[in-house]
Structure 1
Amino acid sequence: MYTNIANDLIDKIKHHLFEEKLPTEYELMQEYDVSRNTIRKAVDILSQKGLVRRVQGSGYYINDFGPRADQTINLTMGVSEGFNHLKLTSRVITFDRVVADEALAAEFGCLVGDDLYRVIRYRFRNRQAYTLEYAYYEREEVPFLPIEAAHDSLLEFIRNEYGVSVDTSDQYVGIESFTSEAAFITGLPQGDKYIVLYQSHYRKNNVLFNFSKTYYLDRKIRFYFHASNQS
């Protein structure tokens, strides 16, 4: 129950339905017809994701990321749930099956010989080049992946079709030079340096089902990660 409430509140925050702060706990209890404890569990999820901060005696304030919110990616929430909700469009460059070699195994932690779907997508936001994504999906976990799904959210398709969702993720940020292949796809100069995000997604029981490398072509992009001191 509280996770559904949290997801509803997240959606309202993303669509700017609260001006500055969340309604009071009592107002949320009335709206969702649940106990105070349930509301607090839901709001705890928002706090863990870095969306709200508690001010003692005043309530829960929504974090303001300023005029660059549309260029901010919240790694605590996941890239697909960033602060901006502008529609991305995708040009599917490659959609095929490959067998993991030693290079892929070393880079992402899969096993040599794993049967994978490979999806290379050139993505745009407001018709401007946004990312170049190399993504791989374990066929043992995702038996069938239609090319139509590659034009939208693949993780959403997998969640709806197979009930497989991200339980934990490993994410690394670095800087890499454009390869000749990346330059050919985008028309941008080979050797140019871009921020790169590596992601490995695991379902329950720590089973790897998706990993990717994404070049961010927007030079003004920034990443946000929320941490709290629980001691």
Structure 2
Amino acid sequence: MNTPTGKSLRFRGCFISSLMLLLCFCSSTLRAQDVKFDLNERGQLSYLYFPSCNMDTVAFNQKNFAGPTLLLDGESLSLNRGDDERTFMGNQKGLSYSLKYAVENGSMRLTVSCKNISKADMKHINLAMRIGIDNCMTSYPQWRSIYFPTLLKCEKTHFWGYFMNPNGGILTIASPDPVASYHLQYNNASENFASGHLIYTSTLDLLHPGQLPEENPTNCNTLKKGETRT
């Protein structure tokens, strides 16, 4: 029996009009009056841009820390383009999963869906999504346009936060549904949460097997047989 839970993320630049926008597709580039971004064949972003805002383009990593990328217990899950230019799907390790992009109300919306198609419940799993935004501030003046994960907050019922750069650009991120936890990829860290100086990118743990702070969501460590989380 499927149990939909409704999970999606919205990325939005500051000072964006709240008008509903029409999509216009050109190859793999999604365009609208206030949102523009480009996708590769694996469903990963190369940039995110809000033309009507006075803010820098949001750059994404293109190699080891590219994203958005789904990971199961730390290993990347492959994605292929679906029936349209903005949907990417995969089937691996007992999971059927997808990413779907859209432009809505001046925001980029990313909907993540995952279904347990194995013959047993998946317990104590770590299902994560590496966002892929380039957070690495290596030198001046390059770092002035780099967006840093200034605030990421996992609430019991939802998730919210923002990335900001020294030039004053702000990229907000939110989900109306809970996200178990998050972690950052530091440049000299072999494990999550280890110390470091530079941050390559940020990752959201959609399902997390470990103990979490009291204010974080609960019941986010199991995907039952046949269950779908969207």
Give the TM-score normalised by structure 1. 0.27
Q: Which has the higher helix share?
A: 1
Answer 1 or 2: which has greater strand percent.
2
